[in-house]
Structure 1
Amino acid sequence: FMKTTGAKTFYLPSADYIWPHLLNKAASQIVRANGGEIVGEEYFPLDTVDFRRTVEQIMASGAEVVFNTLVPPGLTPFLDELHKAGFGKRGGKIICTYFDENF
């Protein structure tokens, strides 16, 4: 992904349980090994639905990529806030580690 897009800065918003912690550890190693930087990493309780502050931090950080490991019910509100903030319009990319028939 980094070689294809040239992206170097990543933000990792995550649900706070073992799977995201393990994925973020692996992603961080890969990003750093390829000359990239993790500009933010946050973990949230599974029932979190307000991500305004986090999206503000993502936008301020200059992150080119959001490596998302949030899960419902917070996933849709997070993506909505990110869209409203203009992340995609400025060229930001989102890596989602899963999708299913509910999205």
Structure 2
Amino acid sequence: MIGTDETREIVDWQKTTVDGATVYEIEYSEPVPEPTGRSRSLFRASSGGTVPAGEQSVLLPDGERIPATEAVFDAAGTTLRVRHEPSLVARVRRYLPW
């Protein structure tokens, strides 16, 4: 899961759509910092190995996995908002026949 640890737990979460983008609002039991850098546990490298940038992803509370390069974070107090903004390449691929 995103942003959990031994003391911080997810209390509630909801998935909405804002301006065509999927937004997850995750409420924690404690104040949460905005994710920075590339945390191993946040981006699936818990085995101690290195995960190539193109394979890094964020696992959300409902089990959906989005590419780390398409996740935008905003933290305020105990709430973390994760916005899924597909890259330009992903948007173009959706409309091309290949």
Task: Kindly name which structure, 1 or 2, has the bigger radius of gyration based on alpha carbons.
Answer: 2
Q: Which has the higher helix share?
A: 1
Please state which band the TM-score falls in when normalised by the shorter chain: under 0.3
Q: Which has the higher strand share?
A: 2
TM-score when scaled to structure 1?
Answer: 0.23
